[in-house]
Amino acid sequence: MGGSTKIMPNLFQVQATDGQARVGLLRTPHGQVETPAFMPVATQGSVKALAPDDLMSLGAEILLCNTYHLMLRPGIEVIHGLGGLHSFMGWQGPILTDSGGFQTFSLGRLQRVSEEGVLFRSHIDGSSHLLSPEMSVEYQARLGVDIAMVLDECAPYGVEEAQVRHAMDVTHRWARRCQEVRRPEGQALFAIVQGGVSSALRLESAASLVSMGFDGYAVGGLSVGEPKATMYRVVSLMGETLPHNKPRYLMGVGSPEDLVECVARGIDLFDCALPSRVARNGGLLTRRGRLNVDNAPFRERPGPIEDGCDCYTCRSFSLAYLHHLFRAKELLAYRLATIHNLRFVVRLMEEMRRAIAAGAFAPFRERFLSEYRVTDEEVRRFQKERWIEAQVKPRKSKGDS
C-alpha cells in the first residue's frame, strides 16, 4: 500500500487558550479544520437528508463516517475501486472514520471478543464477520480517509471494574497492533482512551497510550448512560492529562450544553448523531433549548425558527411552513430541519472559537448555559436507548426505511 505509520509533526497547532478551552488548527490532506469543531455524522457515507453542498454551505469542515457500516455495505473494496471514500460520497473535505468497534457491540449480534478481534453478526443480514485491529486500520487505509481510529473495546456503563480493566487492557494491546499497520502518507491515527468512569483507570489508559505516541487521542466510553456530572469529571481529567500539542476528541457527544461544557474542559473535536436525529423527528435547536415544530402552537407561527440564525432554513421559511411539512410528512421537512440543527451546532463552535481567542470564554459559557433549557436527562437516556434498539431490529423488508 505504501505510506508510513510515523507521527505527523504538523498535524495540530494550538493557537489560543482561555482556561482549559483552546482554539487550534488541524491540518489534513484534504484541508484544514479550525477547532473546537463538530463533525456531522455521515455513518454510511451520507449525512441523512443532506447533500455535500448543504454541508459546505452550513460551514461543516470535517465529517465522520463509520468503518463497520461501510464494510458491510457497499464493501470496502467497492469504495476503494471507485476512487476512495472522498470520491465515492462527493465530499472533498477531511473525513474521520470510526473503527467500527462500538457498532459491533451496539448494533451487531456480538458473538465473541478475543485477542484476535471481534466476531459479530451483521445487523443487516445476520452474516458472520471478524474485525481485527489490523483489518480495521487496513480498511480505513483503503478508504483513504484523513484520520483513522484504532479498534477498541468499550465496556458498558455499570459493569464491574474488573471488566472495565479487561476491556481497557485489550484496547491497549489492540492499539499497539493498529500502530504497526502501514497506512497511506498523511493519514493520521488516533488512539482511544478507555477506563469507564474510574479516574485511576482513565489515567492509566491515557499514560499507556500517550507513551506509544499517536497523532491524536480520543476519549471513548462516555455518554453511554452515566450521569452528566460523571462525564464532565472524566472529561476534565482527560483535558488536564492528554498532551497539549495533540488533538483531543470526545466521541459521541453533541448536545449543545455538553459541547460548551466539554470545550471548557479542553476538548477539540466532537461527533454525534443527535442534532440530525432529533431534526428528523421535528426537534429544532434554539438558544433557549429544543422545540418540537410538530406541536399545534406552531401551526400559524410566522417568522423563522430563531431570530438571528443565518441558516438557509431560517432565512427562507417560517415555522408554520415547517410545521406543515412535518404534519404532511413531506421529505423536505427532514432536509430543512437538519440544515438548521447542524448550522446551529457549527455556529455554536464558531462562536466558542471567537470567545476563546478574545479571552472571553467564561462569560460566553455562563450566558449560554443560563439561557439554554436542557432536555431532561432521563428522557434523553430513554430516547437514546430506543434509538439503539431500533437500529438492532432485523430488516423485514428489502428496502431501508
Q: Of 101-115, 148-162, 285-299, 323-337, where does mean pLDDT reach its minimum?
A: 101-115
Confidence of residue 368 (pLDDT cuts 50, 70, 90): very high
- Contact in structure between 115 and 173 (CB atoms under 8 Å): yes
Q: Is the pLDDT of residue 394 over 50?
A: no
Choice among 152, 215, 268, 271 that is catalytic: 271
**Banded pLDDT at 383 (limits 50, 70, 90):** low
Annotated catalytic residue, options 18, 98, 146, 258: 98
Instruction: Tell me the mean pLDDT in the region 148-158.
Output: 95
Q: What is the pLDDT of residue 389?
A: 57
**Spatial separation of the C-alpha atoms in residues 300 and 319, rounded to whole Å:** 8
Asked if residue 388 has pLDDT above 70, the reply is no
DSSP secondary structure string for all residues of 209-255: HHHH--SEEEE-S-SSS--HHHHHHHHHHHHHHS-TTS-EEETT---
pLDDT of residue 22: 98
Question: With bands split at pLDDT 50, 70 and 90, how would you rate the model's confidence at 172?
Answer: very high
When pLDDT is averaged across residues 189-218 and rounded to a whole number, the result is: 98
Per-residue pLDDT at 393 exceeds 60? no
- Cα distances (angstroms) measured from residue 261 to each of 75, 254, 255, 265, 278: 38, 11, 10, 7, 21
- Look up residue 260 and give its three cell numbers: 460548551
pLDDT band of residue 20 (cuts 50, 70, 90) is: very high
For residue 400, pLDDT beyond 70? no
Percentage of the chain exceeding pLDDT 70: 92
384 pLDDT band (50/70/90 cuts)?
low
pLDDT of residue 386: 58
Specify whether 271 is catalytic. yes
| pLDDT (0 to 100) of residue 301 | 98
Q: If you average pLDDT over every residue of the chain, what do you get?
A: 93
Instruction: Judge whether 98 counts as a catalytic residue.
Output: yes
- Mean pLDDT across the stretch 118-136? 93
Check pLDDT > 50 for residue 396: no
Under 8 Å CB-to-CB from 48, ≥6 apart: which residues? Answer: 276, 280, 334, 338
d(CA 35, CA 16): 10
Window from 8-12, 136-140, 200-204, 300-304 with minimum mean pLDDT: 8-12
Using 50, 70 and 90 to split pLDDT, how confident is the model at 9? confident
Residue 197: is its pLDDT beyond 50? yes
Enumerate domains of the chain plus CATH numbers: 12-274+380-391 (3.20.20.105), 279-375 (no CATH)
Residue 213: is its pLDDT beyond 90? yes
Report the pLDDT value the prediction gives residue 101, as an integer from 0 to 100.
84
Query: In the predicted model, what is the mean pLDDT of residues 274-289?
Result: 98
Residue 399's pLDDT is: 36
Query: 125-160: b or e for each residue (b if 16 or more CB lie within 10 Å)?
Result: eeeebebbbbbbbbbbbbbbbbbbbbbbbbbebeee
Q: What is the pTM of this model?
A: 0.93
Please tell me the predicted confidence (pLDDT) of residue 268: 99
Question: Which spans in 285-331 are helix H?
Answer: 312-316, 319-327
